[in-house]
Structure 1
């Protein structure tokens, strides 16, 4: 399940993730435009594994009728998200839940949300049974027809293509960051903390959880973004 980040990591997370994830800001920009195309002016959105709340900061100011429920297991990350929401003047539209989706998060079991966001979270969930539980809990709290935006590392870990793309990504990181030892540490965590799925397995789990087949809206090497809808 997602790592529980401490206060120090919560403070540096936004700076670090923008360097590590290829196209991180573009992913959030395209997610915002996708949501705006799919949602009405009044909407309730659940954000799974919300971290420091980048998804909310990215969309809330341009969409004053949207309300958010942020689900995040790490108290320091929730505190950072709260601080950012207050700084952006949107705190009155944001609520918080502790816990991990699919495990111990308390979300409504009846449909009450108009959309769900899960950006760079599901790949932390180990095992297909746990991933399915995660997706089912999100499906259970969405209105029929509501969209889910999902972005994660994707691929068959033991394949030659996966290894080649990780090598390209590693090369880009070494060229763009000044501390090769931190790059080495980050990529070692890909082996221990990340559990990617091939695209066809992700589609099968989404459909089993109650979603329509996913439609791609973002890709940068091994990071893929999709949207689908609650059946």
Structure 2
């Protein structure tokens, strides 16, 4: 799910064909997205009326579509290496009337300006970084673009694959994939790819990477099957 975020150890950016169908690709799981969007809004409550939000791995801009109407003074920096995905995000912004509050960067976070943002989102992004050094560097790149005390919410596919409960969690997740319309063969391929092509680090390892990237010890605030989320502040 979602999209790569760093040039190191990441798959190729999503192409135009993928961008066209992305918004509807996981429609049956929208309740999960709604949940961590609600957590995101709660965590960002109290930010200034003119807050600047960095959206790392912005894709088609779902986070901005949620936040922009609710916070008319906030400005957004959408960063994604896929120009086709950002083109969809821009069309959503034009339809929503908030394009003038958005800056679009078809690149990796590490290549974007070092502007001081009040908060950042990284939703279903860093699990594509299978190399631990690259993944920690990604969080450091986000921290470098936040003000001191700036807030981060991070959600990834993540599980301890050595735990006795892992296969039960994975079975539930694959059942959710089935509800979303994925075939049995597709789910079997997904199971083989997990821990190889994405999401190779367990929750303790991810939390340590976030902290080592320049954040306070992250708080675990969300879990739904294979999805886990943390909040943290720039140290």
Q: Could you tell me the TM-score, scaled by structure 1's length? A: 0.89
Which residue number in structure 2 is paired with residue 157 of structure 1?
161
Structure 1 runs not aligned, ≥5 long: none
Deviation at 1:31, TM superposition (A): 1.4
Instruction: Name the CA distance, whole Å, in 2 between partners of 1:125 and 1:83.
Output: 28
Which residue number in structure 2 is paired with residue 40 of structure 1?
48
Tell me whether 40-49 or 161-170 shows the greater mean CA deviation.
161-170
Deviation readout 1:82-108 (Å, 9 max, x if unpaired): 011111111110111122234xx2231
Which residue number in structure 2 is paired with residue 89 of structure 1?
97
Q: 1:106 aligns with which of 112, 125, 128?
A: 112
Tell me whether 200-209 or 129-138 shows the greater mean CA deviation.
200-209
Residues 16 and 185 of structure 1, relative CA distance in 2, 3 Å threshold: farther
Instruction: Name the CA distance, whole Å, in 1 between partners of 2:141 and 2:37.
Output: 23
Instruction: Name the CA distance, whole Å, in 2 between partners of 1:126 and 1:55.
Output: 24
Deviation at 1:113, TM superposition (A): 0.7
Question: Would you say how many aligned residue pairs link Structure 1 and Structure 2?
Answer: 226
Instruction: Name the CA distance, whole Å, in 1 between partners of 2:170 and 2:12.
Output: 21
Partners of 2:173 and 2:225 within 8 A in 1:
yes
Which residue number in structure 2 is paired with residue 139 of structure 1?
143
Which residue number in structure 2 is paired with residue 15 of structure 1?
24
Partners of 2:130 and 2:196 within 8 A in 1:
no
What is the root-mean-square deviation in Å for CA atoms of aligned residues?
Answer: 2.1
Which residue number in structure 1 is paired with residue 71 of structure 2?
63
Partners of 1:155 and 1:199 within 8 A in 2:
yes
Tell me whether 220-229 or 191-200 shows the greater mean CA deviation.
191-200
SS at match of 2:26: helix
Partners of 2:29 and 2:180 within 8 A in 1:
no
Structure 2 runs not aligned, ≥5 long: 1-9
Residues 70 and 178 of structure 1, relative CA distance in 2, 3 Å threshold: closer
Tell me whether 64-73 or 163-172 shows the greater mean CA deviation.
163-172
Tell me whether 128-137 or 213-222 shows the greater mean CA deviation.
213-222
Partners of 2:28 and 2:179 within 8 A in 1:
no
Deviation at 1:186, TM superposition (A): 4.4
Tell me whether 59-68 or 217-226 shows the greater mean CA deviation.
217-226
Which residue number in structure 2 is paired with residue 29 of structure 1?
38
Instruction: Name the CA distance, whole Å, in 2 between partners of 1:206 and 1:165.
Output: 24
